[in-house]
Structure 1
Amino acid sequence: MPRSLRQSVRADHQYYYLFAIEGVTMEGKGSVRLEGLRKEFGDVVAVDGIDLEINAGEFFTLLGPSGCGKTTTLRCIAGLETPTAGRISISGDDVTHLRANNRNTSIVFQEWALFPHMSVGENISFGLEMNDVTKSEREERVKDALELVELSGYQDRKVSALSGGQKQRIAMARSLVIEPDVLLLDEPLASLDRSLSERLQVELKNIQDDLGVTFIYVTHDQEEALTMSDRIAVMNDGKVEQVGPVTELYEHPKSTFVAEFLGETNLFEGTAHRENGHIKLDCDEINVELNTGAVDSDRLADNASCAFTVRPESMIIPEEGEEECDNMWTGTVQDAIYKGSTTLYEIDVGDRILKVQQQRSNSVRMYSEGDQLSVGFNSNDGEVIREP
C-alpha cells in the first residue's frame, strides 16, 4: 500500500506544508546515489558537483561548517530543492525530477514542526490518516512508534506539555511511523542542551540499528558525527573533501581541512626533503621528522609540499628518565583546560602552540599555566597529508 505524509507547521499565523513519502518495493531499497549533483542559487553555487553512494541501512552523515552545502544536499535528496544539474537515485530509481511526495523519504527538522493544536497521537498519525490508513491500524502503528522512541502512553498528551527532547522524539516517531526507506535528519539535536543531545545521539543510533532504515544525517557537530555515523562525508565550500568510516577520517585525513575540522590536531605544513637518511618536513621555523612509510620517495624529488598532522592524544610529555621522542621541544604551558577525564594543554614552544591531551590519573603529573616541560611526538603517531 503506498504511504504518504503531509506535515503542516503553524508559525506566525502561516501554514507551511512539507511533503514526503510514497512507498516503493524493490532490491537495494534505501540506497541513495548522487551523481554530479549541483545546486545554484543565482550566482551562488551551494553544491558543486557532488558524487556520493550511500548504502541501504547505513547511518550516513554530511558533516561540515555552516554554508558548506550539506543542508542543500539533504533538501535535494528530499525533493524540497530542484538540482541545477546532476542525478539523484533512491533505491535504484532516478528521482531527480520527482516531486517530494513521490519519493520514499521522510525528513526530521531541527524545529520539530509539530502541530501545536493536536495531541501527540494525532501528530504521529496525521500522515497515516492522509493516506487513508484505517483507524485501528493507525492506533496500532502509533502505539508501536511511541514504544520505539520510549514514550509509550503519551498519545493523549498535548504537544505544549512536552519537553524539547520529547518533542524531538515525537518528530522522529511521526517520520518513522510511515515506514520510509530513507530518513533525512537536518541537525535535529542542535537546539537541545548538551547532556540531552548526547543521550539522544545514542538513542538515535540504537533506533537506526533496530530498524535498518537508511539515515542521512546533517550536522556541523563533530562529536555527533563521530558518535553515530557508519560513514561520514566531510563537506567544504559545496564539495566533498573526504568520505569514509569514522576511524579512517579521524586517523587518516586526506586534506588539512579534514584534519583540522574533525577534532583537535597539531598541523605542520612545509616542504619534505631527505636529510642524513631521514625524511624531514621544513616548516621554516622548525624541522619535523616524518613517518617514512607514509611518504612516497618519488614525491621528494621535487621537494613536495605536504603537511603532517598529529592528534593531541598522540602527543607525549615524557616523564623524567623516559626515552625522548622523534620530535622534541621545550615549552611553557600556556593553558590547561580541564575536561573531566582528560586535560588539554596548550604549550608554547616558541614558534607555535602545541596541543597535548593527557588522561587524568594518580600516576600522571598534572601541569599548570607557566610550567616548563618537554613535549613531542613519534613520527609513526602522525599522518602525512599530500595536498592535491
Structure 2
Amino acid sequence: MSVIAPLRLCRAPATAFVIVGLYWGAFAANVPVIKARIGASDGEFGALLLSSALGLVSAMWLAPRADRLFGARGLPLAALVLAGAFLLPGLAIGPASFALAMVLAGAASGLTDVIMNARVSELESRHSRSLMNANHGAFSAAYAASAVAAGLAREAGTPTVATFAALGVVTLLLAPGLAAAPEHTPSRGAAARGSSLGPVIMCGAIVLVAFMAEATVESWSALFIERELGGSAAQGALGPAMLGLTMAVGRFSGQAVSVRLRPSQVVVWASLMAAAGALVAAAAPVPAVAYAGFAVLGLGVSVIGPLGLAMVGQLVAPADRTAAIARTAVIGFSGFVIAPVLMGGLSELVGLGAAFGAVALLLALAPLPLPWIRARNSLL
C-alpha cells in the first residue's frame, strides 16, 4: 500500500502528527542545554520530567470531553495550546519553573495526541484500512528533521525559546488545516463502557513499553553521546534524530507490512529487533556505533506503539473508541515519564550505557499481552 494514499486520506490528523513531532524533536535536541540551564543532575532531571505525568493524566479526562465539546475545532485548538505550552521549557531557569513547564507541555501534547489518534482510528474503521503506521511515520519524520535543525541551531547559538517560537509560527500557519469532525455515535451505559477496560490495559501495556523505549532515546541519547562518547552538540542531536529518522522509515514500511501480517506478528518481530538495537547502543564505544544501535532500535520500536493504539480501536465499540484510545494513550504516555526517571536513577548508579541495556530487557516484554488480545479478535 502506498504511504501517500493513507496520508492523503488522513490529511488533518497527519498534519497534527507532524506538528507534535516538530516540538518533541526540538525538545530532545535541546535537552542538554535545558538541563544545564536549570542546574539539575541526571537523577534530578529525570525526576523533574515526572511532572509531565500531571499533564498526561489531565489529558486522559480532557481529551474525550474536548473532542465532543469543540468538534471539528478541537484539533486546531489543541495544536495552538501546544504551541503556547512549549515556549515554557525554553524559558525555564530553574527546577520549579521547568517542572511547571513540563506539566503544561505534557497536557497540551497529550490532548493533541489523543484527538489525532482518535481521528485516525475512526478513519481506519470507516475505510477498513490500516492507517496508523503512516500517521505515526509522519510524526517520526518531523521529529527527525526538527532534531537535526534544532541541533544545528544550538551550534549557531540560537536560544531554545527562539527555536520553539519559530515552531509556533509554523503551527499558526498549519492550524486551520487541522479541522476534522469526530464521528457521532450513540452513547452507551457505564456497564457497557466498562467492557473496554481489558483492551485498554492490555494494549496500553504494549504501547507503554514502546513509548518507554522511545522516550529513553529521545531524552538521554544526546547526553549519552556528548558526555560519555565525547560528541559535539551537533553529534549529540544526531542521536534522537537517528531515532526519528529510522522510526519514520519503520512506520512507513510498517504501513505496507501491516497489510500482509497480523498486528500481533509484527509486534513480536519488532520487539526483538528493537531489543537488539538497544544492546548495540548500550555497548557503543564511539558515536557511530551508538547511531547504529539507535537506528535498529528505531526501526523495531517504530511500529509497536501505533499497532497497540490501532488494536484497542478494533477491540472496543465505536462509541467507546475515543475514550479507550485516550486511556490507552495515557498509559503509553506514562512511559515518557517513567523512562526518564528510571534512566536518571540508573545512570547515576551504573552509567547511561548500562541503563540502555535495561531497555533491551524491557522491549522483550512487549509481546506478553498478545495471547489475550488474539483470543478476543483472531484478525489481530
TM-score (normalizing by structure 2): 0.25
Bigger relative contact order, structure 1 or 2 (CA pairs below 8 A, ≥6 apart): 2
State the structure with more CA Rg.
Answer: 1
Q: Which structure dedicates a bigger proportion of its chain to strand? A: 1
TM-score (normalizing by structure 1): 0.25
